[in-house]
Amino acid sequence: MKTFAERLNAAMSAAGVSQGQLAERVGVSQPAIQKMTSGKTSGSRKMVEIAHALGVRPEWLSAGSGEMLNDGNQAAPTYSVAIDNDVFRVDVLDLTVSAGPGSFMISEFVEVLHAIEFTTEHARSLFGNRSQNDVKVMTVDGDSMCPTIQSGDRLFFDVSVRNFRVDGVYAFVFGQHFHVKRLQMQGLQLAVLSDNPAYKDWYVTEDNQDQLYIMGKALIHESIAYNKL
């Protein structure tokens, strides 16, 4: 019997749906779909939504029971979206990244809370020519990036960046913990830096680099600071 990952990949291929498209349709992050398709997770509590988005039977997708479709045919795209070309929508993820010692990763995938809408012209000035599917918002918790980034600020990330490219602020998982820190290449090791001098620098080396999973590179941040008049 095929695994859940194999069934999911088959359904996506038959429906002509990419990981990014499926993530947007069911309200999870693309990394969550990637984990499912690669076999790192054996299921999802969004199973029904995923099945409907791909036009397959939930029972078949979750357990391999029966046919892919009720009539035994291959799946076909059943999901359509009306696109407003003048609106650029950025998903706000139900995810808090730690600007501190690290927050424990307790979920295999991430929900979308809501979206922030920009005009395409404004979005281009903020995010360049990036696709709206590549820009996501995450909330910061902790003071290790103070005074640059305060706890509660929202960061806009380019989630198409999955590897260290240049020095900058990144959201990443190291081991089982979420972080938002500055990454800077120093010789043969990657320095993890905090703007708050109270926090010590630490390093990603060849010995532990397999524990690093980059989720995106920060583009801009939105402050929630309230100042008295």
| pLDDT the model gives residue 81 | 40
* 169 and 105 fall within a common domain: yes
* 93 and 204 fall within a common domain: yes
Main-chain phi, psi angles of 86, to 5 degrees: -100, 5
Reported confidence tier of residue 199, pLDDT bands at 50, 70, 90? very high
Neighbours of 101 (CB within 10 A): 11
Which domain CATH number covers 49? 1.10.260.40
Reported confidence tier of residue 107, pLDDT bands at 50, 70, 90? low
**Is position 203 within any domain?**
yes
| pLDDT the model gives residue 112 | 72
pLDDT at 80 over 70: no
* 114 and 40 fall within a common domain: no
| pLDDT the model gives residue 83 | 43
State pTM to two decimals. 0.61
More confident: 99 or 4:
4
The total number of structural domains that make up the chain: 2
| pLDDT the model gives residue 69 | 79
Which domain CATH number covers 190? 2.10.109.10
Lowest mean pLDDT among 26-30, 115-119, 150-154, 213-217: 26-30
Domain that holds residue 207: 87-222
| pLDDT the model gives residue 68 | 85
Name every residue whose Cβ is closer than 8 Å to that of residue 34 and which is 6 or more positions away in sequence.
Answer: 19
**pLDDT tens-digit series, residues 9-21:** 998 888 888 888 8
**pLDDT tens-digit series, residues 97-106:** 788 777 665 4
* 14 and 106 fall within a common domain: no
Q: What tokens appear for 107 in the block?
A: 């979920």
* 106 and 165 fall within a common domain: yes
Q: What tokens appear for 56 in the block?
A: 């397959």
* 98 and 165 fall within a common domain: yes
**pLDDT tens-digit series, residues 122-148:** 999 999 989 888 999 988 989 999 999
* 149 and 106 fall within a common domain: yes
| pLDDT the model gives residue 224 | 63
More confident: 224 or 190:
190
* 138 and 193 fall within a common domain: yes
* 115 and 45 fall within a common domain: no
* 58 and 109 fall within a common domain: no
User: How far apart (Å, rounded) are the C-alpha atoms in residues 99 and 151?
Assistant: 8
| pLDDT the model gives residue 219 | 93
**Is position 74 within any domain?**
no
Q: Give the C-alpha distances (Å, rounded to integers) separating 107 from 41, 83, 102, 124.
A: 11, 31, 15, 32
* 145 and 206 fall within a common domain: yes
**Is position 72 within any domain?**
no
Reported confidence tier of residue 115, pLDDT bands at 50, 70, 90? confident
pLDDT at 158 over 90: yes
**Is position 101 within any domain?**
yes
